[in-house]
């Protein structure tokens, strides 16, 4: 039986380098949209992520105002953290520091700087950054089941 993560464990886990799966309610008879994203998070803070303005998820997120983000450890011992949260801010276009806070978690510094610079040089107006306040947490740690 999995145990829930402590507050410190869940925040540290979410702050780790994971690709998140974002889920947001759909606006028609289709199931909720679930899509992988890069995100930024510092323990105790909000979750941020950015996407292109033309992405379907932008309108869905703006309409719903809430979403879920799930991150997992895919190798044993299995763990996951799901954050259910409220959109508390949008930035369009986001600033370089906001973009770097997300991108440098996934790319080496020189590549992160290059990616952000390329976005800003092209005007940067094609991106939107969402800030999500964690409202509820769902967690599981299967370490004890690996026995």
Range of the domain at 44: 7-146
Gap between the Cα atoms of 40 and 130, Å rounded: 10
Report whether pLDDT(121) > 90.
no
pLDDT band at 37 (very low <50, low <70, confident <90, very high): very high
Q: Identify whether 75 is part of a domain.
A: yes
Q: Identify whether 2 is part of a domain.
A: no
In the chain, the percentage of residues whose pLDDT exceeds 90 is 87
Q: Identify whether 45 is part of a domain.
A: yes
Q: What is the pLDDT of residues 4-26, one digit of tens each?
A: 999 999 999 999 999 999 999 99
Gap between the Cα atoms of 31 and 126, Å rounded: 27
How many domains would you assign to the chain? Answer: 1
The pLDDT value recorded for residue 146 is 65
Q: Identify whether 25 is part of a domain.
A: yes
CA distances from 16 to 30, 34, 39, 43 (A): 32, 21, 10, 10
Q: Identify whether 76 is part of a domain.
A: yes
Q: Identify whether 36 is part of a domain.
A: yes
Q: What is the pLDDT of residues 76-109, one digit of tens each?
A: 999 999 999 999 999 999 999 999 999 999 999 9
Q: Identify whether 1 is part of a domain.
A: no
Q: Check residue 107 and give left, alpha or beta (phi > 0: left; psi -120 to 50: alpha).
A: beta
CATH number, domain containing residue 73: 2.30.110.10
């Amino acid at each position: 039986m999995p145990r829930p993560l402590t507050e410190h464990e869940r925040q540290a886990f979410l702050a780790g380098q994971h690709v998140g799966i974002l889920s947001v309610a759909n606006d028609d008879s289709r199931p909720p949209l679930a899509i992988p994203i890069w995100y930024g998070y510092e323990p105790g803070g909000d979750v941020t992520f950015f996407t292109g303005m033309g992405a379907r998820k932008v309108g869905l997120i703006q309409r719903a105002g809430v979403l879920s983000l799930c991150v997992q450890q895919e190798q044993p011992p299995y763990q996951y953290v799901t954050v259910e949260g409220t959109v508390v801010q949008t930035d369009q276009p986001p600033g370089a520091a906001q973009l770097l806070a997300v991108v440098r978690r996934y790319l080496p510094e020189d590549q992160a700087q290059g990616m952000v610079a390329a976005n800003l040089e092209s005007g940067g107006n094609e991106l939107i950054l969402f800030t999500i306040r964690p409202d509820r947490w769902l967690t599981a740690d299967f370490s004890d089941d690996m026995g």
